[in-house]
Amino acid sequence: MSPEYSVSLRRKIDEVAARYPKKGAALLPVLHLVQREVGCISAEEERFVAQVLGLRPMKVREVVTFYTMFLRRPVGKYHLQVCSNLSCSLLGAGPLLDYLQQKLGVRVGETTADGRFTLSTVECLGACEQAPSLMINFDYHGQLDGEKIDRILESLE
């Protein structure tokens, strides 16, 4: 059964789409809007957005799977995205990820039982000069080691 989307969400989508000469051009802002309201862009949301904007579902899938800021399933309150690209790998992203997995008791792609933390890996965050880097929700953190991670996580409690 497909989920019901609120009248309010549909109205907001119409308002965003009306700013563009073609509805389909509003795809990125509409995806952000839907993710904010629903929590993620699963296959159901992809179909919904495609239908509302008059796009092929595959077009929406291509965009959602290209940009790592779109979540395909719900995440915890804090989404930790550890960069696994070259600069970060050379400067300790692997041990950092091992440390986080052990500290949080989850593997990459999992959420802690209390729903607070989801651990993911991503390609370059564009913060290579701060390697190894991660993002927690929309905040960047760099030059990380176990001690610094501990302090950051404690500050989130």
Residues that bind ligand FES (CB under 6 A): 83, 85-88, 124-128, 131, 133
Structural tokens at position 17: 């789409």
Q: Which is nearer to ligand FES, 17 or 127 (CB)?
A: 127
Nearest Cα neighbor of 37 from 78, 3, 2, 1 is: 3
Smallest gap, in angstroms, from Cβ of residue 44 to ligand FES? 32
> Is-contact 89 67, C-beta < 8 A?
no
Smallest gap, in angstroms, from Cβ of residue 104 to ligand FES? 20
> Is-contact 100 119, C-beta < 8 A?
yes
| 31: enclosing H helix or E strand | helix 27-38
| 73-77 contact pairs (CB < 8 A, 24+) | 73/40, 73/42, 74/39, 74/40, 75/39, 75/40, 75/111, 75/118, 75/120, 76/111, 76/112, 76/115, 76/116, 76/117, 76/118, 77/115, 77/116, 77/117
Q: Which is nearer to ligand FES, 8 or 138 (CB)?
A: 138
Q: Which is nearer to ligand FES, 49 or 131 (CB)?
A: 131
Q: Which is nearer to ligand FES, 52 or 127 (CB)?
A: 127
Q: Which is nearer to ligand FES, 104 or 131 (CB)?
A: 131
Smallest gap, in angstroms, from Cβ of residue 132 to ligand FES? 7
Smallest gap, in angstroms, from Cβ of residue 130 to ligand FES? 7
Smallest gap, in angstroms, from Cβ of residue 125 to ligand FES? 4
